[in-house]
Amino acid sequence: MPDNEITIIEPNRLLKSLELRDLWRHRELLFFMVWRDVMIRYKQTFIGVAWAILQPVLTTAVFTVIFSNFARFDTSEVPYPLFALSGVMIWLFVHTSITMASNSFVTNTNLVTKIYFPRLILPLAATIAALTDLIFSLVIAIMLMFYFGVAVTPQVLYAPLFLLLAILLAASLGTLFSALNVRFRDVKFALPFLLQVWMIASPIFYPTSLLSEKWRLVFAVNPITGILSGFRSSLFGTSFDWQVVGVSSISIILIAVISLLVFKWMEDDFADIV
* Res 11: pLDDT: 47
What is the distance in angstroms between the CA of the first residue and the CA of the last residue of the chain? 25
In this structure, how many other beta carbons lie within 10 angstroms of the beta carbon of residue 210?
13
Distance (Å) of CA 13 to CA 9, 45, 162 = 13, 45, 29
Distance CA 143, CA 166 (A): 22
Residue 215: its H or E element: helix 213-219
Largest Cα span, the chain: 69
What are the tens digits of pLDDT across the range 201-251? 999 988 888 777 778 888 899 999 999 999 999 999 988 999 999 999 999
Distance CA 138, CA 48 (A): 19
Cα 182–133–143 angle (5° rounding)?
160
What are the tens digits of pLDDT across the range 122-147? 999 999 999 998 999 999 999 999 99
φ/ψ (deg, to 5) at 16:
-70, -35
pLDDT above 90 as % of the chain: 52
Q: If you ran DSSP here, which 8-state letter would residue 185 be given?
A: T
What are the tens digits of pLDDT across the range 61-101? 998 888 877 777 877 788 999 999 999 999 999 999 999 99
The whole-number average pLDDT for the span 265-274 is 80
Q: How much is the pTM?
A: 0.88
